[in-house]
Structure 1
C-alpha cells in the first residue's frame, strides 16, 4: 500500500521576490524590502499559496487571497492590473516588482 506524503499531488515549487519599499511607510520601518513568497504548481503556473511581508495582518491576508489561483505564467498582466485596482497600499509598486521577479524566476525554472 502506498504511503501518503504531503505534497504528493501536483508538483509545486516555492519562489520568492524582493523589492525596496518606499521610505516613510510602516512596513519600511520594519523591513527595508517587501518579500513576496509563492508556492506555484510547476506544470500549470497556478499560484497555490502566497505570502508577503506587509505591516498588517489584514494587508497580508488580502494579498494572499488576491493572488491565489492566478496563473503566474499566462495571467501576469491581468494580475498586475488587479493589484493596481484593488491593492491601494503604499507598497503597491514594490509588490508588483517582487511579483515580476517571481515571474522571471518561474520562467527560468521552466526553461522559457
Structure 2
C-alpha cells in the first residue's frame, strides 16, 4: 500500500449535465475530483467526467497548479474561455469542491 501524506486531501463535486451533451448520455452528471495539498492550498491533480479528451485536458491545464485560496481565478477561466454546453455544470461542480475544501479547513481549525 502506498503512503498518502496527511496534508493531501480529495474533494469532489457533482452537477447535473444538460440533456444535449454527449457526457450526459454517458454520465448524467459531471463529476469533478481535486487532489489538494491542504498545507499550500495548491491543486496537485484533477479529473473530470467529460466525454472528450480535449475538454478533459483543458480542464486539467486550468485546474492543476491552481490555488484554492484564489479560486475565483480558476472559475474566471471557465466563465471566459470554456464555451461547451457543460459550462454551467462544470462551474457548479467546481464551486461544490470549493465549499467542501472550506468545510475541511474549518474542521481542521476546530481540531487545533
Q: TM-score, normalised by structure 2?
A: 0.87
Partner of 2:78: 83
* CA-CA distance at 1:6 after TM superposition: 4.6
Provide the alpha-carbon RMSD of the alignment.
1.6
Encode CA deviations 1:16-61: one digit per residue, 9 max, x unaligned: 0000001111111111100000100111211110110001111111
Distance 1:35 1:71 in 2: 20
Partner of 1:58: 54
Structure showing the higher helix proportion among its residues: 2
Unaligned runs of 5+ in 2: none
**4+ aligned runs moved over 2 Å, structure 1:** 5-8
Distance 1:56 1:11 in 2: 32
Partner of 1:17: 13
Tell me the secondary structure at the aligned position of residue 47 of structure 2. strand
Unaligned runs of 5+ in 1: none
